[in-house]
Amino acid sequence: MDTNLSILKLITDASLVVQVVIAILVISSLMSWTLILVKGGKLRQARRCTERFDEQFWSGISLNSLYDELGTKSKRRALERIFYDGFSEYKRIRSAEASNSFPLVDAVGRTMRVAISREVSNLEKNLAFLATVGSTAPYIGLFGTVWGIMNSFISIGAMQQATLSVVAPGIAEALIATAIGLFAAIPAVVAYNRFNDAIDRLDLSYENFKEEFLSLLERQVLIRKKG
């Protein structure tokens, strides 16, 4: 058996089952990294959009002006969408519910909760794939390793004399599967945990904004009633 222990040589010399396992892990790793880059960009965009809108909302601009400004946008994200949907509902039912602030505020709150749910669901999309890769890739790699070692021992058993130079390449090519499995799993697990934490923080920001906005609407309705 060739004692050249380069990674490429070990993979090309591995059995078909081990090569299939390695191919699955490499494809999973590439898909994971693609998702990590795309999802990371979306979360950064959502965070920047949230911070920018929150600053604009509390800058003293009138709600009607802010609503009209967002109405000109073809696509609204994060807090923009949550505010726009909520204020649209407020404007739609304001005249009918002017005599009672609480049904109006409740209706706006329900609309904003739906918008928050959609935003969070969009951010969480495909995260399950990272969790799946993180939890299964080591076991897939281990399967390839066990299969490769089993074949190596079968080959060794057929030999009259087994030396380290003969045994080492077979064991090494089997362990490559486990190494690639860990290489695929570790970034997926780290990214999944980081993304979940970032989404939880954004969700909390959305919920806090919703409560503050509803309190503001309720005060406006009560002031208009007294006036």
What are the extents of the domains in the chain? Answer: 17-136+181-226
Instruction: Return the residue matching tokens 């004692």.
Output: 3
Rounded to 10 deg, the angle between the 16-57 and 164-226 helix axes is 20
What pLDDT is stored for residue 25 in this prediction? 92
> Whats the size of the chain, residue-wise?
227
Could you tell me which of 55, 95, 91 has the C-alpha nearest to residue 71?
91
Residue 153 structure tokens: 């021992």
What pLDDT is stored for residue 94 in this prediction? 72
What pLDDT is stored for residue 165 in this prediction? 60
CA dist., res. 65 & res. 155, Å (int): 78
> 143: how many CB neighbours lie within 10 A of its CB?
16
Q: For residue 60, what is the DSSP state?
A: T
Q: DSSP 3-state assignment of 58?
A: coil
What pLDDT is stored for residue 218 in this prediction? 80
What pLDDT is stored for residue 163 in this prediction? 62
Report whether 138 contacts 189 (CB < 8 A). no
For 187, residues 6+ apart whose C-beta sits below 8 A from its C-beta are 29, 32, 33, 36
Residue 180 structure tokens: 């690639």
Tell me which residues of the chain have a pLDDT lower than 70: 1-7, 10, 13-14, 95-102, 155, 157-170, 221, 223-227
Q: DSSP 3-state assignment of 227?
A: coil
Residue 20 structure tokens: 């299939």
What pLDDT is stored for residue 41 in this prediction? 92
> 12: how many CB neighbours lie within 10 A of its CB?
10
What pLDDT is stored for residue 150 in this prediction? 79
What pLDDT is stored for residue 175 in this prediction? 83
